[in-house]
Amino acid sequence: MTTLTRTPGDETAEDPGTPGGRGRWTGYLLLLPGALWLVLFFAVPIGSLVSTSLYDPTGTLETGYRFAFDVGNYIDAISTYAPEFGRSLLYAGLATIFALLLGYPLAYAISFKAGRWKNLLLVLVIAPFFTSFLIRTLSWKLILADQGWVVDSLKFLHVPLSNGRLLDTPVAVITGLTYNFLPFMVLPLYASLEKIDHRLIEAAGDLYASPFQGFRKVTLPLSMPGVVAGTLLTFIPAAGDFINKELLGSPQQSMIGNRIQGLFESGSYPAASALSVTLMVLIVVMVIAYIRRAGTEDLL
Using alpha carbons, list the distances in angstroms from residue 158 to 145, 151, 162.
Answer: 17, 10, 12
pLDDT over threshold 50, residue 193: yes
3 state SS of 219: helix
Residue 144's Cβ-count burial label (10 Å; 0-12, 13-18, 19+) is buried
Chain segment 7-17, per-residue pLDDT in tens: 555 544 444 44
Lowest mean pLDDT segment, chosen from 27-41, 58-72, 95-109, 130-144:
58-72
Contact by Cβ (8 Å): 227, 212: no
CA distance 108 to 98: 16
CATH 1.10.40.30 is the classification of domain 81-266: no
Domain range annotation of the chain: 81-266
Residue ranges of alpha helices (H) inside 113-169 are 118-126, 133-143, 149-156
Q: Quick one: average pLDDT of 236-247?
A: 93
CA distance 17 to 188: 37
Chain segment 146-183, per-residue pLDDT in tens: 888 899 998 888 888 877 889 999 999 999 999 999 99
Using alpha carbons, list the distances in angstroms from residue 280 to 5, 6, 44, 202.
Answer: 58, 55, 16, 44
pLDDT over threshold 50, residue 197: yes
pLDDT for the residue numbered 178: 96
Q: How is residue 250 annotated by DSSP? A: -
CA distance 269 to 63: 13
CA distance 218 to 155: 43
Contact by Cβ (8 Å): 121, 114: yes
The larger pLDDT score, comparing residue 78 to residue 11, is at: 78
If we measure between CA atoms, which residue out of 52, 76, 46, 45 comes closest to residue 66? 52
